[in-house]
Chains A and B, each alone.
Chain A
C-alpha cells in the first residue's frame, strides 16, 4: 500500500492562452486568482500606483526641504555678511583709531590693540568663510564651473588631496536651483572623498552630453562597497540622490576595491537651463 497522495489535477492551458494570460498579468489586467480553495484578490496596479504616488510625494517634500534649506542658508549668509561683518569692520576701524591715539610710550596698550585688531581680522575672515560655505556667492557671480574650480582649490588646500576639474561647458549658465543642486552634490561627494575614501587624488568632470549634464566625481581611494553605496544609513548619498531625482536625474555610485569610487550624476539639460 502506498501512502502517496493522488496528483492534483492541473488545468489544461494551451500555449496561446498561456501567452495571453502572461500578457494580462504583466499589464495588471488581472484582479483575482482562482485557487482550488481560495480566491485571491490582487490589486497590484493600485498598490504600485499608491507606492509611486507616495514616492513622488516624498521626493517633492525632499525638493521643497532642500529649497527651504538653501533659502535659509542664503538668508543666514546675508545676515552674517551684512550685520556681523559690518560690525566687525567698524570694530576694526575703531581699534585702528585707538592705536593712532595711544601714546607711543603706552606699549602695553598698543600691543593689546594690535592683538585685538588681529583677532578681529581673523573673525572677519571666519565670517566670510562661513558665509561662503553657507551660500557660495560665486555661484551667482561666477557661475557653476568657476565655483566648482574654486571649491576644488579650497578642498585641495584643506585636505591635501589633489583635486582637478575637467569640463566642456565653457561659459554655460544654468538656473539657480540646478546650479545649487549640482554644486551641493559635488561638494557632498568631495566631503565623502575626504572623510571615507583614503584617496590622494580626486577629479570632477562636468560635461554636456546628449541633452544631459553629466557630473562625475572620481577618486583613487579604497572604493566604496556595494552595501555602503545603497545603505539606508548613508544619508549623504541619499541626499545627493534626492537632489538628482528632484531634477529628474539619476545618480549612480560605483566602487572598485583599490581603484576608487566613481559617482555619476545625469540631469536633463531641459530641467536646469
Chain B
C-alpha cells in the first residue's frame, strides 16, 4: 500500500508534464557552477525533453531573488508542476534532489 502511494506521488513524471525550474546562482562560484551542471545532468537523465531551466544570477538580478524569497545561492525552485519545491545547495546528492523534486519516492 505504502509503495503504491509512493508511485502515485511521482505521478507527474509518468504523466509527462514539463518541469519548470528556476535556479538561483551567484556568478561562477564553485557551488553555483556545480549546481548548474548537476541540474542539467539530472534533467537530461530523468526528464529528457520535458524541462525548462531559468538560471538567475543574483549578482545581475537581485530583484527576482528577493521576489522569490531566495536567501542563499544556489537555490533551486521547482515552479511547475505544483506544489512548488525549494532545494538548497549544489545538488550533488542526486537521490535527495530527485526525492525532493518527486522524481523518485522519498526513501528516508
A residues whose Cβ falls under 8 Å from a Cβ of B = 11-13, 17, 20-21, 23-25, 27-34, 36, 39, 41, 43, 45-46
Q: Known: A41-B29, A45-B30, A46-B30. Is A31-B58 also a contact (CB below 8 A)?
A: no
The answer to whether B86 and A17 have CB atoms under 8 Å apart is yes
The 4 closest A-B pairs by CB, nearest first: A32-B26, A29-B89, A32-B73, A24-B89
In the complex, which residues of chain A have a beta carbon less than 8 angstroms from the beta carbon of B65? 34
Residues facing A in B13-70 (CB within 8 A) are 24-27, 29-32, 58-59, 62, 65-66, 69-70
Which residues 78-101 of B sit at the A interface, judged by CB distance below 8 A?
86-90, 92, 100
Instruction: Name the one of A11, A12, A21 contacting B88, with C-beta atoms under 8 angstroms.
Output: A21
Residues from chain A with Cβ under 8 Å of B71 in the complex: 11, 13, 21, 33-34
User: Which secondary structure dominates chain A's binding surface?
Assistant: mixed
For B58, list chain A residues within 8 Å (CB). 32, 34, 39
Nearest chain-B residue to A19 (Cβ)? B88
A21-B72 CB under 8 A given contacts A30-B88, A31-B31, A32-B58 = yes
Nearest-CB residue, chain A, relative to B28: A31
Q: Which residues of A contact B31 (CB under 8 A)?
A: 28-31
Give the size of the chain B interface in residues (CB under 8 angstroms): 26
Q: Which residues of A contact B27 (CB under 8 A)?
A: 41
| A24–B32 alpha-carbon span in the complex (Å) | 13
Residues in chain A near residue B24, CB distance under 8 A: 34
Whether the Cβ atoms of B87 and A31 lie closer than 8 Å is no
Do B86 and A36 have beta carbons less than 8 Å apart?
A: no
Using A11-B69, A31-B31, A34-B71 as known contacts, say yes or no to A20 and B62 having CB atoms under 8 A apart. no
By a CB distance below 8 angstroms, the chain B residues around A11 are 69, 71
Known: A31-B73, A32-B26, A43-B30. 12 other contacts (CB 8 A): A12-B69, A21-B71, A21-B72, A28-B31, A29-B90, A30-B31, A30-B73, A31-B30, A32-B29, A34-B62, A39-B59, A41-B29
16 A-B pairs with C-beta separation under 8 A: A17-B86, A20-B89, A20-B100, A24-B72, A28-B31, A29-B88, A30-B88, A31-B29, A31-B31, A31-B73, A31-B74, A32-B32, A32-B58, A33-B73, A39-B59, A41-B26
Residues in B whose Cβ lies below 8 Å from that of A12: 69
The residue from B30, B74, B86, B89 contacting A27, defined by CB atoms under 8 A apart: B89
Q: Please name all residues of chain B whose beta carbon is closer than 8 Å to the beta carbon of A41 when the two chains form the complex.
A: 26-27, 29
CA distance A41 to B32 in the complex (A): 11
User: B72 — which chain A residues lie within 8 A by C-beta?
Assistant: 21, 24-25, 30, 32-34
Candidate in B31, B59, B66 with the most chain A CB atoms within 10 angstroms: B31
CB–CB B66/A20 < 8 A: no
| Distance of A24 from chain B, by nearest CB (Å) | 4
Q: Which residues of A contact B26 (CB under 8 A)?
A: 31-32, 39, 41
Quote the shortest CB–CB distance from A40 to chain B (angstroms): 9
